[in-house]
């Protein structure tokens, strides 16, 4: 099984490339990953909810007024919205609480636990315009076929507390809405790309304004989840139950990693192998 050092804004980049009519991203050996290649967890993995833990750096902030009727804190409240969007229970709720992790580079998050963390520093290869990122690691499946996808193995959410302030108070217009940021990143964590159709209300739009509160999984988002996890038929052909069988061959099994950003500004930044290649 080959390991490829590859940091790319897969969803973000492919969305931008689609707008430009360019289709391929080179991975330097295993063939290109086509723009729009689905990223998702396997049905076997989702037989149990993902054990995405919550850093105590968040839970220590929450007040009694932040809890819902079930006693769940804002991060779990957002997780429940995704769980309600599909027959899969994507995220374990209530989530376990863990100590915060403060790695200096995103690749270090490929560890033994998945979590939602605060970062008070930021990463040299990630834009300071990112409010938060979802860093994911997965394996290429069905390489070179119309049913290629990236099977997620590990993912974490890291929120940028170096450059931004966050609040659970919807009336606070001097901080970004934590619920909205977490809901967006959890969407990435289950595999959703950005939604560039500005006519559709969606939590997966790639930008968030400081006065915006978007605490809803919309009809467009539910449709995106259904498309990605279409139970009973494959997404794009091949396989069953929405998930093609994994049959290793020389092009299979290369691990890839990528970063989704939720940005505070309106520009589109492209990174390939840690190099900023385009801003528009």
Q: Which residues would be at the binding site for Zn ion (CB under 5 A)?
A: 260, 262
Give dist(CA 41, CA 150) in Å, integer.
8
**Helix 74-83 vs helix 178-189: crossing angle, to nearest 10:** 40
Closest CA to 129 of 266, 271, 15: 266
Q: How far is the CB of 66 from Zn ion (least distance, A)?
A: 23
Q: How far is the CB of 274 from Zn ion (least distance, A)?
A: 19
Which residue's beta carbon is nearest to the bound Zn ion?
Answer: 262
In the complex with Zn ion, which residue's Cβ is closer, 149 or 260? Answer: 260
3-state helix, strand, coil in the chain (%, to 5): 20, 25, 55
Q: How far is the CB of 200 from Zn ion (least distance, A)?
A: 15
In the complex with Zn ion, which residue's Cβ is closer, 96 or 265? Answer: 265
Q: How far is the CB of 239 from Zn ion (least distance, A)?
A: 27
In the complex with Zn ion, which residue's Cβ is closer, 15 or 168? Answer: 15
In the complex with Zn ion, which residue's Cβ is closer, 176 or 243? Answer: 176
Q: How far is the CB of 206 from Zn ion (least distance, A)?
A: 5
Secondary structure (DSSP) of 195-251: ---TTS--TT-SB--TT-------HHHHHHHHHHT-TTS-SSSSSBTTB------TT
Give dist(CA 28, CA 265) in Å, integer.
31
Q: How far is the CB of 129 from Zn ion (least distance, A)?
A: 12
Residue 185 has phi, psi (to 5 degrees) of -70, -35
Q: What is the maximum span of the chain, computed from C-alpha positions, in angstroms?
A: 54
In the complex with Zn ion, which residue's Cβ is closer, 183 or 254? Answer: 183
Q: How far is the CB of 131 from Zn ion (least distance, A)?
A: 9
Q: How far is the CB of 191 from Zn ion (least distance, A)?
A: 12
In the complex with Zn ion, which residue's Cβ is closer, 86 or 188? Answer: 188
Peptide bond into 246 cis (omega under 30): no
Give dist(CA 179, CA 6) in Å, integer.
30
In the complex with Zn ion, which residue's Cβ is closer, 128 or 145? Answer: 128
Tokens of 56: 């105590």
Closest CA to 206 of 153, 125, 127: 127
In the complex with Zn ion, which residue's Cβ is closer, 50 or 143? Answer: 50
Is residue 116 within 8 A of residue 103, CB to CB? The reply is no
Give dist(CA 22, CA 19) in Å, integer.
8
């Amino acid at each position: 099984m080959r390991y490829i050092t590859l940091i790319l804004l897969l969803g973000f980049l492919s969305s931008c490339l689609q707008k430009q009519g360019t289709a391929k991203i080179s991975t330097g050996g295993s063939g290109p990953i086509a723009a729009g290649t689905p990223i998702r967890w396997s049905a076997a993995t989702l037989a149990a909810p993902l054990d995405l833990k919550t850093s105590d750096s968040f839970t220590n902030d929450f007040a009694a007024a932040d809890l819902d009727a079930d006693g769940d804190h804002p991060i779990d409240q957002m997780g429940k919205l995704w769980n309600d969007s599909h027959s899969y229970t994507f995220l374990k709720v209530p989530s376990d609480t863990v100590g915060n992790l403060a790695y200096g580079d995103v690749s270090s998050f490929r560890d033994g636990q998945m979590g939602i963390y605060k970062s008070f520093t930021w990463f040299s290869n990630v834009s300071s315009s990112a409010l938060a990122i979802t860093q994911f690691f997965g394996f290429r499946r069905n390489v070179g076929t119309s049913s290629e996808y990236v099977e997620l193995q590990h993912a974490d959410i890291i929120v940028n507390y170096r450059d931004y302030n966050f609040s659970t108070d919807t009336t606070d217009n001097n901080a970004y809405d934590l619920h909205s940021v977490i809901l967006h990143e959890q969407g990435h964590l289950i595999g959703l790309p950005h939604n560039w159709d500005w006519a559709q209300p969606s939590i997966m739009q790639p930008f968030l304004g400081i006065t915006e509160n978007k605490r809803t999984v919309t009809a467009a988002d539910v449709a995106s989840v259904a498309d990605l996890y279409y139970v009973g038929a494959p997404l794009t052909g091949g396989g069953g139950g929405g998930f093609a069988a994994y049959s290793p061959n020389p092009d299979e099994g290369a691990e890839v990693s990528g970063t989704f950003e939720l940005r505070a500004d309106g520009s589109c930044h492209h990174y390939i192998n840690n190099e900023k290649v385009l801003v528009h």
